[in-house]
């Protein structure tokens, strides 16, 4: 709980009764923290099988499985199947939907490829009747811009109060900040 103090403070400031979406939940550190409040409706989205398994296990071990909706699903600007570059042997690690040139030091090969279902946020809400989130955390390296492009209706919904994006400034963070007003106004 010391790795992301700004994120924890942000969760502490959420209005009771709100809907929080953790996109790119990994093994659920922020998901669990939000669910432990007891007054938020928490949805956690994690497409990597190894991380999703650990996310669900962590919810169960902490008695929070009834407070968190865990879905093994990714978001993008289209719906379909995408290749996720991730090793099932490395839990709690980040992954990418972009092909990596890095070798896996343990396997001396490129990370495995896993087929993952993705859809747009707008389509997910419309298709499944999910509540519009009041707060969204996005930590999906290399796909954040596409996620926003598939959420134009959600971004324009007045129920959405805040978005917390984890992005490196020199690797697209500035571009996201520049594009966000255009997506919201559409």
How many Å is the Cα radius of gyration of the chain? 16
Exposed, middle or buried: residue 137 (CB in 10 Å: 0-12, 13-18, 19+)?
buried
Residue 169: inside a domain: yes
Q: Is the pLDDT confidence value at 108 over 50?
A: no
- Mapping DSSP onto H, E and C, the string for 160-182 reads CCEEEECCCHHHCHHHHHHHHHH
Residues 168 and 94: beta-carbon distance below 8 Å:
no
Residue 95: inside a domain: no
Based on the structure, what is the number of domains in the chain? 1
Task: In whole angstroms, give the CA distance from residue 101 to residue 150.
Answer: 27
Residue 129: inside a domain: yes
Residue 134: inside a domain: yes
Task: In whole angstroms, give the CA distance from residue 93 to residue 183.
Answer: 30
What pLDDT score does 116 carry? 87
Q: Is the pLDDT confidence value at 181 over 70?
A: no
Q: Is the pLDDT confidence value at 184 over 90?
A: no
Residues listed for the chain: 186
Per-residue confidence band for 55, with pLDDT thresholds at 50, 70 and 90: very high
Residue 105: inside a domain: no
CATH number at residue 128: 3.40.50.150
Residue 141: inside a domain: yes
Task: In whole angstroms, give the CA distance from residue 82 to residue 183.
Answer: 23
120-157 pLDDT, tens digit each: 999 999 999 999 999 999 998 888 899 999 999 999 99
Residue 125: inside a domain: yes
Residue 102: inside a domain: no
Cα 63–chain centre separation? 22
146 is in which domain, residue-wise?
16-77+120-185
E strand map for 29-138: 41-45, 68-71, 74-75, 80-85, 113-119, 135-138
When comparing pLDDT for 9 and 174, which is higher? 9
When comparing pLDDT for 40 and 104, which is higher? 40
Q: What is the pTM assigned to this prediction?
A: 0.83
């Amino acid at each position: 709980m010391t790795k992301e103090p700004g994120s924890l403070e942000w969760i502490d400031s959420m209005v009771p009764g709100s809907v929080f979406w953790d996109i790119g939940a990994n093994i659920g550190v922020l998901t669990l923290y939000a669910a432990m409040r007891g007054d938020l409706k928490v949805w956690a989205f994690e497409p990597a099988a190894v991380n999703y398994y650990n996310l669900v296990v962590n919810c169960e071990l902490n008695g929070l499985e009834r407070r968190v909706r865990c879905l093994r699903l990714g978001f993008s600007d289209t719906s379909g199947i995408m290749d996720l570059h991730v090793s099932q042997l490395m839990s709690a690690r980040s992954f990418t939907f972009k092909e990596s040139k890095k070798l896996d030091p343990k396997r001396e090969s490129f990370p495995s490829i896993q087929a993952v279902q993705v859809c747009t946020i707008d389509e997910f809400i419309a298709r499944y009747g999910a509540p519009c989130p009041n707060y969204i955390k996005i930590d999906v390296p290399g796909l954040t811009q596409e996620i926003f492009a598939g959420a134009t209706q959600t971004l324009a919904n007045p129920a959405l109060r805040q978005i917390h994006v984890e992005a490196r400034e020199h690797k697209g963070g500035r571009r996201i900040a520049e594009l966000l007003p255009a997506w919201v106004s559409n």
